[in-house]
Structure formats: C-alpha cells, structure tokens
Amino acid sequence: MNPAKVIREKVEKLTDLPNVGKTIAADFARIGITHPKQLRGETKVWWDYTPERKARYGDKIRL
C-alpha cells in the first residue's frame, strides 16, 4: 500500500501497513507483535540499544 494512502484510524492489522505483507506480519508475530498499535510509543532510537554503540561509547553517552 502507498504510505500516502494509509488512513491511520482504519489500520486494523499489520498487513494494512505499507510494506508489510504476510511474511513480515508473521515475523512480527514471532516476536509477539500482532497488532499495529503495538508499534506505537517507542521513545528511544535503535542506536541506543545496539552492541556497537555500547562497545564504542559505553557509558559516555547518556540515554
């Protein structure tokens, strides 16, 4: 689905999201994500959690 055509209020399943087909939806289900609302609310960026960041900077960067 074209991202510009997504109506957030009508998204009911993961495959309603752009670029999420059956295979990606199954991958999400394997890690416990079964509804699009579960993808909301993340306040940290991925970099904060990576081993590379931790190895490179350790505690020098405040999260």
For the chain, what percent of residues have pLDDT higher than 90? 35
pLDDT of residue 49: 73
Mean pLDDT of the residues in the chain: 82
pLDDT tens digit sequence for 46-57:
767 788 777 877
Q: What percent of the chain has pLDDT over 70?
A: 84
3-state secondary structure of 60: helix
pLDDT of residue 6: 81
d(CA 15, CA 29): 12
Asked if residue 62 has pLDDT above 70, the reply is: no
CA distance 12 to 35: 7
